[in-house]
Amino acid sequence: MRAAPEWLAPSSLEEALALLAERGDEALPLAGGTFLAALLNQRLIEPACLLSLARIAALGGIEGGEELRLGAMARHRDVELSPLVREGWPAVARAFGVVASPRVRNQATVGGVLADADYASDPPAMLCALGARAVARSAAGVREIPVEELITGYYETSLRPDELIVEVRVPRADRAVYRKFRTRSHEDRPCVAVAAARRGAETRVVVGAVAGRPQHFPELCRDGDAAEIGRRYADAIEPIADVRGSAAYRKRVIAVEVRRALEELAT
């Protein structure tokens, strides 16, 4: 019968990166494992080897300063409840706090949600709006990747097979909001999500859950009132259609929710 995957659980980052360099093609990095377990349960993947990051203490932690530093293995629930995050980056606490249930948030990690690049997850759009960067390490070195360049499409990232996200750095904003528009149960994933952040004269608006990757159009935010920007976003985005809403409906909601996010940002 089917062979069980090998379980690798290194206790240091160096060891993990060495293993990844050596076996990147067959080793699947595993953080909290919520996404991978769901795929494994449905037999959508059959990896030869699982590389667990759970024992690498250096990947945990939440630190504040000029920027917020979220360790890749920090759990959603830790981000949600961290007084430091709530105080300095309340919209980040909110975006992580509205993901699924407390159970999933107890398990899912900061690095995991970015590396999965699930189009309907809440945090990526918010991190993108705040101009956050993922720090990626490999045996060969380290680089910073803006979140909006990290996620390239449905479940696709610009990470190389030998790279791991080790940390996410989130700059401060003057104000930021996250709006999750659901069309069904409270437990549903968003039909349209809008993250918006204001820093000095710059306003960034990112729409999530409507396409393969967070939708950000800096040039559309430079002038015009909230309603106008909302309409521009609705025109610019080609949304998906699914059980949560058709493409045409999503366009209408994008116009409304972007406007509302900008109005909220102005308060």
Partner 1 sequence: MRVRFALNGEPVELDVRADETLLTVLRRDAGILSARESCGIGVCGACTVLVDGRPTSACLLLAPLADGAEVATAEGLGPDHPVVRAFAEAHAFQCGFCTPGMIVAATALLAESPSPSDAQIRHALAGNLCRCGSYVKILEAVRRAAA
Partner 2 sequence: MSRESILLGRVRYSQDRELPGMLHARVLRSPYPHARIVRVDASAVPARAVALTPDDVRGLGVYGCQIQDQTVLALDRALHAGDPVAAVAAATPDEAEDALALIEVEYEELPAVSDLEEALAGSVLVHERIRISDNDAAYFGIRPEQGTNVCHRFRILHGDFEVGLEQADVVIEETFRTPAAQHAPMEPHACLARWEGGRLELWTGTHTPFNVRSDLARVFGLAEEDVRVVVPPMGGSFGAKTFVHLEALTAALARKAGRPVRCVLPRSEEWVTNNRHPALLTVKIGATADGTLVAKRVDSWIDTGAYADCGPGVAQKIGYSAVGPYRIPHVHVESRCVYTNRPPNGAFRGFGATQAAWASERAMDLLADRLGLDPLELRLRNVLRDGDVFCTGETVRDVHFAECLERAAAAIDWGQGRSGKGLCVLLKGMQTPSRAQIAVEAADGGGYTIRCATAELGQGSRRALTLVASELLGAPLSEISFPDPDTDIVPYDTRATSSRSTYMMGNALEEAVRELRKDGRRGVGEFRNSGGLDPDTGQGVASSHWHQGAAAAEVRVDEETGLVEVVRLHAAVYAGRVVNPPGAELQNEGSMIMGLGSALFEAVSFADGQVVNANLSDYQIPSIADIPDGLTHDLLTKPGAEVHGLGETALPPVPAAIGNALGSLGIQTTELPLMPETVLAAIDRRDGGGVR
Is 33 a binding residue for partner 1 by CB under 8 A? The answer is yes
Is 267 a binding residue for partner 2 by CB under 8 A? The answer is no
Is 62 a binding residue for partner 1 by CB under 8 A? The answer is no
Of 41 and 267, CB closest to partner 1: 41
Of 217 and 249, CB closest to partner 2: 249
Q: Pick from 44, 101, 141, 201: which binds partner 1 (CB under 8 A)?
A: 101
Query: Whole-angstrom Cα distance, residue 178 to residue 107?
Result: 22
Is 190 a binding residue for partner 2 by CB under 8 A? The answer is no
Is 48 a binding residue for partner 2 by CB under 8 A? The answer is no
Q: Pick from 86, 249, 263, 264: which binds partner 2 (CB under 8 A)?
A: 249
Count of residues in the chain: 267
Amino acid at 26: E
Structure tokens at 214: 């967070």
Contact 23, 50 (CB under 8 A): no
Q: Pick from 3, 43, 66, 201: which binds partner 2 (CB under 8 A)?
A: 43
* Strand arrangement of the beta sheet that strand 192-199 belongs to: 175-181, 192-199, 202-208, 215-216
Question: Segment near partner 2 (CB under 8 A), from 64-72, 103-111, 153-161, 182-190?
Answer: 182-190
Instruction: With CA atoms as reference, report the closest residue to 27 among 18, 37, 38.
Output: 18
DSSP 36: H
Is 120 a binding residue for partner 1 by CB under 8 A? The answer is no
Q: Does an H or E element contain 93, and which?
A: helix 90-97
Contact 159, 165 (CB under 8 A): yes
CA distance between the termini of the chain: 61
Contact partner, 1, from partner 2, partner 1, none, Cβ < 5-8 Å per class: partner 2
Is 227 a binding residue for partner 2 by CB under 8 A? The answer is no
Which parts of this chain interact with partner 2 (CB under 8 A)?
A: 1-2, 43, 181, 183-189, 191, 231, 242-243, 245-246, 249, 252-253, 255-257
